[in-house]
């Protein structure tokens, strides 16, 4: 890893699906939310809509659910309900993706600064950060749309803000991401992006610099950049 230290000044991580296992949890949250409205069965098209939510800001997800399922409540009420369900479920089941903690320890040993830049709402981010002790990994460098005038990815604002706070140029950063909005944001920010492969991004990996199946491959990929 020593050979990457001079070339990579900082690494920025997305959160959901990138460093923590949330894909299945969010699927459960969406179903539990709709169950409150008496909706428990879904068409194939609606199942596909659930998949499209990956990496999307919560307000946009709530808006799409309100439109698709004809929910009478306001966006604010829908988001509050969703956050309550999510925070309860995440508190019981949230965990890091395999290999992340070991990989991050290597970055820490090399004194390569790291940050989180996530589309998660602060009300969802804060309890996750507390439970998984993000401060031990990232210090205070944990950012969400509330830190950039509510401009979520694919806007590059989050990544650019993280780079600025880390004191590095955008082109000196590497982004780890798993979603299409994140890929677009990294590209717009002028940062190289390494994808965490999953079933939802398999067809769009041409949008990133490289891709890994797990963090056990991350070190080798960084050596090639």
Could you tell me which residue, 3 or 24, shows the higher pLDDT? Answer: 24
Question: From CA 52, how far away is CA 56, in angstroms rounded?
Answer: 8
| pLDDT tens profile 171-186 | 999 999 999 999 999 9
The CATH number of 2-21+95-224 is which of 3.90.220.20, 3.40.50.1970, 3.40.50.1000, 2.60.40.790?
Answer: 3.40.50.1000
Could you state, in order of their start, the residue ranges of all structural domains in the chain?
2-21+95-224, 23-93
Q: What is the pTM of this model?
A: 0.86
| pLDDT tens profile 124-153 | 899 999 999 999 999 999 999 999 999 999
């Amino acid at each position: 890893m020593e050979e990457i230290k001079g070339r990579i000044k900082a690494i920025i991580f997305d959160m959901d699906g990138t460093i923590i296992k949330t894909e299945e949890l969010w699927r459960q949250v969406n179903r539990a939310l709709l169950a409150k409205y008496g909706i428990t069965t879904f068409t194939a098209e609606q199942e596909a809509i659930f998949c499209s939510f990956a990496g999307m800001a919560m307000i946009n997800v709530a808006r799409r659910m309100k439109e698709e399922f004809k929910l009478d409540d306001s966006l604010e009420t829908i988001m509050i309900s969703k956050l309550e369900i999510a925070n309860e479920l995440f508190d019981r089941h949230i965990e890091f993706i395999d290999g992340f903690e070991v990989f991050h320890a290597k970055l820490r040993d090399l004194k390569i600064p790291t940050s989180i830049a996530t589309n998660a709402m602060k009300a969802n981010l804060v309890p996750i950060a507390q439970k998984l002790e993000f401060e031990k990994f990232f210090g205070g460098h944990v950012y969400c749309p509330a830190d950039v005038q509510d401009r979520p990815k694919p806007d590059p604002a989050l990544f650019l803000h993280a780079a600025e706070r880390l004191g590095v140029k955008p082109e000196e950063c590497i982004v780890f991401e798993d979603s299409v909005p994140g890929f677009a944001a990294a590209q717009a920010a002028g940062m190289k992006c390494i994808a965490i492969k999953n079933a939802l991004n398999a067809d769009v990996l041409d949008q990133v610099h490289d891709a890994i199946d797990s963090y056990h491959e991350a070190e080798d990929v960084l050596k090639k950049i």
